[in-house]
Amino acid sequence: MEEEAGDMVKEGLMASQREIFSISGPVHLTSIDWNNSYHRTSVASCLVQAVYTLERDRQQNRIGFKSQANHWWEFFNFTLAETLIDQSDGSIYGAVFEYKLFSYNYYIHPHSKTPPRHVIAFRGTIMKRHSRSCDLKLDLRCIRDSLQDSTRFMHAIEVVQTAVAKTGNAAVWLAGHSLGGAMALLAGKIMTRSGFPLECYLFNPPFSSIPIEKLLKSEKLKHGVRLAGSLVKAGVAMAVNGRHNHNKDQEDDTFMKLASWIPYLYVNPSDPICSEYIGYFKHRNKMFEIGAGKIERVATRNSLRSFLSGGGGGSKCSDASSEPLHLLPSAYMTINTSKSPDFKIAHGIHQWWDPMFHGEYVLYQFSQ
């Protein structure tokens, strides 16, 4: 395999080993059991990798037999239905993959869960000159909770809405990594609040707040900082909502609609971009354990940033700008407990289909 990769580089293909499916992909998954969470995770993450490789193929002008991207979807019996292009820089930021329902060369377990008809996948930031400028601007939008105003996201949500209109929400999956995870999360929230929840796979999505989980070592100190934040948010929320009580019932309804949606969330504790999700959900459980559940219910629904910006809270979801991107009431979280020697591996997409993966799995479901 390594000799094959070396030959490809010598021929001018310039593909890294991480882009070559036969070297870095889960080639052991010769059949897919759609009831198996590892199998579904592998498919979703590989389709995200396919988008990364599509853009790298474009950047390096790898066409025809030189292209590497197609192997990442063809192995799982998908076709490329549409590539999503950012009009700002011409880069490929996402793709719509369609499952080939009738195939005679690919085995599916007879009692398997129905596979998705379409998977809409979004890549993260690529630090190459052809794409990094636009990608980094969008990364800043994630920090500022303004991703929904970007032309890339506005195009993406139109694509998602069109796919759901054609085949129904049960047949559509969303998947994204890093910046792409933020895209998938935001699209999933909007679709859920519109009454069309989608199965969603979020790999290392950014948490738009200080990474307390990564910065602080003491569990007591972490809890103290988060407790103070919850108390302040709850206090401000109750004061503001007391003045605007006429909207409370509608806001409760939209928030609980979002709380019923349970996306799959994948985080690595060594990754400062997404690790705060671990503490975010652990803190909520801790608050209920110490009898402060009522305070946490109010705090979870609201954001100080939205109060300061005039949004009035974090539970108005028709208006996506009224809440922080990371607001997520419920999730089925997978934590990679394997050792990650550096940031590149801790934040990378490849870890999620690694057959040697060791993880912790926790369901967090918000209740009134």
pLDDT tens per residue across span 238-296: 555 555 554 555 555 677 788 899 999 999 999 999 998 998 888 777 766 666 556 65
pLDDT at 288: 66
Q: Is the pTM of this model over 0.75?
A: yes
pLDDT for res 317: 39
Question: In this structure, how many other beta carbons lie within 10 angstroms of the beta carbon of residue 363?
Answer: 10
d(CA 96, CA 260): 26
Backbone dihedral angles phi then psi of residue 336, each to the nearest 5 degrees: -75, 110
Q: Which two tokens stand for residue 201?
A: 């796979």
Domain membership flag for residue 182: yes
In the prediction, which pLDDT does 10 show?
Answer: 43
**3-class DSSP state of 164:** helix
**148 residue type, one letter:** Q
Q: What is the pLDDT of residue 147?
A: 94
- Which H helix or E strand runs over 335? strand 331-336
Contact (Cβ atoms closer than 8 angstroms) between residue 259 and residue 330: yes
pLDDT of residue 101: 72
Residue identified by tokens 């019996």 is: 77
| Residue 97: inside a domain | yes
The answer to whether 124 and 130 have CB atoms below 8 angstroms apart is no
In whole angstroms, what is the distance from residue 75 CA to residue 3 CA?
A: 22
pLDDT the model gives residue 83: 98
Q: Which pLDDT does position 360 carry in this prediction?
A: 95
Give one word for 168, left, alpha or beta, with left for phi > 0 and alpha for psi -120 to 50: left
Q: What's the structural domain count of the chain?
A: 1
Pick the closest to residue 297 from 252, 357, 338 (CA basis): 252
pLDDT score at 299: 62
| Number of Cβ within a 10 Å radius of residue 332 | 15
The four Cα atoms 95, 101, 102, 105 give a dihedral, to 10 degrees, of 60
> pLDDT at position 2, please?
44
Tell me whether residue 142 is in a domain: yes
Core vs surface per residue 240-277: b (16+ CB within 10 A) or e: ebeeeeeeeeebeebbebbbebbbbbbbbbbbbbbbbb
Let me know if residue 230 belongs to a domain: no
Q: Residue 331: in which H helix or E strand, if any?
A: strand 331-336
User: Is residue 265 assigned to a domain?
Assistant: no
Give me the pLDDT at residue 314, please: 44
CA dist 106 and 143 (Å) reads 42
Residues of the chain where predicted confidence (pLDDT) is lower than 70: 1-13, 102-112, 210-253, 287-322, 368
Residue carrying structure tokens 């109060």: 307
20 within a domain of the structure (yes/no): yes
Distance CA 1, CA 351 (A): 20
Within-domain flag for 291: no
- Does 225 fall in a domain? no
pLDDT at 15 (0 to 100): 80
Return the H-helix or E-strand segment holding 174: strand 172-177
| pLDDT tens digits, 183-200 | 999 999 999 999 999 999
The Cα 70–Cα 46 span in angstroms is 11
Angle between helices 293-300 and 219-243 (to 10 degrees): 70
**Domain range for 184:** 16-203
Q: What pLDDT is stored for residue 4 in this prediction?
A: 44
Identify the pLDDT of residue 196: 96
